[in-house]
Amino acid sequence: MRESGNNRRDKGVAQVLLMRLENERLPYALKLKDRVDSGERLSDFDTQFLKRVMQEGREARILAAKLPQYQEVVNRMAALYEEITRKAAENETKTAPGH
């Protein structure tokens, strides 16, 4: 049975996203996690990075719904980004004037 054009395209997009994740997104996200875990605040660049990857994550969830083999990695990355965001917000509160 032949794959439909959409299915082939979805798999191609998934491959590109996985390569980007492995080579760019995950290494930087892990650095951010280490920094926020040690109490640091995020820079404007870091905040923009998180906004960008959260948007990509929403798109990846749509793709993963079509390609269930990618669901776990999408969920794990979303959880990592949410943890970084939560911890960064805590750090902002701790370092805000009056605290």
Counting Cβ atoms within 10 Å, is residue 11 exposed (0-12), middle (13-18) or buried (19+)? middle
What is the pTM for the complete model shown? 0.82
Rounding to the nearest 10 degrees, give the CA dihedral for residues 36, 40, 42, 46: -60
73 domain residue, yes or no: yes
Supply the mean pLDDT for the chain: 88
User: Is the pLDDT reported for residue 97 higher than 80?
Assistant: no
Range of the domain at 53: 5-94
99 domain residue, yes or no: no
d(CA 61, CA 47): 21
79 domain residue, yes or no: yes
9 domain residue, yes or no: yes
Chain segment 51-91, per-residue pLDDT in tens:
999 898 888 888 888 888 888 998 999 999 999 999 999 99
Task: State how many domains the chain has.
Answer: 1
75 domain residue, yes or no: yes
**What's the pLDDT at 1?**
47
26 domain residue, yes or no: yes
23 domain residue, yes or no: yes
Residues 6+ apart with CB under 8 A from 40: 91
φ/ψ of 87, rounded to 5, equals -70, -40
16 domain residue, yes or no: yes
